[in-house]
Chains A and B, each alone.
Chain A
């Protein structure tokens, strides 16, 4: 999945 939809924020 592209980074945006992933939970890339802590």
Chain B
């Protein structure tokens, strides 16, 4: 465990908790893509299948449970909570995310470290996490609505990406046999898509700021 990865895990968790709190506190999820949140929940469920089989550390196990619970809580809030689900942009959040799930699963069947149930699902979760932000990116391009995408959420999500890349660079130079090409390459694609999201987020935020200028 190195400081970059610990900080990356923590900023990742904070980004999820910030979003959950924002939705729960304002009882609104307008501008949030339910599809992206569903993909994130699937990512954690598919990746942490080893929760009960491989014990790595208390930290590792606790964080896996917290990631699963918090990501499922966001999906539950957006689908079940009466007040929240009324504010869901159902007619705008229309990206066919099932195609992303299917494509990532097929790709995981082709490219993985070992052809075992857990390894294929692990690779699937890595690929899916990389593309999971696409429905949110499309929704943001359509709606320009950043009401619930707080700056903190975007900041912590970006910090998570940057710190994980630093973690891989650090591990590459300090560990003899560090070979996580699947996670590294997929992580770079994920970061590039995040950068695209950030670009549209910044534009929307600037436009909203202009719109809200005192008349």
Determine if chain A interacts with chain B: yes
Question: Residues of A at under 8 Å CB distance from B?
Answer: 3-4, 6-10
A3 to B60, CA, bound (A): 12
Chain B contact residue count (CB 8 A cutoff): 19
Which residues of B (106-157) have their CB < 8 Å from a CB of A? 122
Instruction: State whether B67 touches A4 (Cβ < 8 A).
Output: no
Q: Does B63 contact A (CB under 8 A)?
A: yes
CB distance B183 to A9 under 8 Å?
Answer: yes
For A6, what are the chain B residues with a Cβ–Cβ distance below 8 Å? 54, 56
Taking Cβ atoms with an 8 Å cutoff, the residues of B that contact A are: 1, 5, 9, 12, 47, 50, 54, 56, 60, 63-64, 67, 122, 167, 175, 177-178, 180, 183
Residue on A nearest B180 in the bound complex, by CB: A9
A-B contact list, 6 entries, CB within 8 Å: A6-B56, A7-B56, A7-B122, A8-B60, A9-B180, A9-B183
| Residues in A neighbouring B9, C-beta threshold 8 A | 10
CB pair A4–B177 under 8 Å, yes or no, is: yes
* Measured CA separation A6–B36 after assembly (Å): 28
Task: Report whether B175 and A10 are in contact in the complex, using a CB–CB cutoff of 8 Å.
Answer: no
Is B122 in contact with A4, judged by CB distance below 8 angstroms?
no
Contacts A3-B56, A4-B175 known; A10 to B50 CB distance under 8 Å?
A: no
Q: Which 10 A-B pairs have the closest CB atoms?
A: A8-B56, A10-B9, A10-B63, A7-B122, A4-B177, A6-B56, A4-B175, A6-B54, A7-B50, A9-B5
Q: How far is the CA of A8 from the CA of B175 in the complex (A)?
A: 14
Q: Which residues of chain A come closer than 8 Å to B1, judged between CB atoms?
A: 8
Least CB distance, A2 to chain B, in whole angstroms: 9
Looking across the interface, which residue of chain A has its beta carbon closest to that of B9? A10
| A-chain residues with CB within 8 Å of residue B122 when the two chains form the complex | 7
Q: Are A10 and B54 in contact, CB atoms less than 8 angstroms apart?
A: no
Complex Cα distance A7/B16, Å?
22
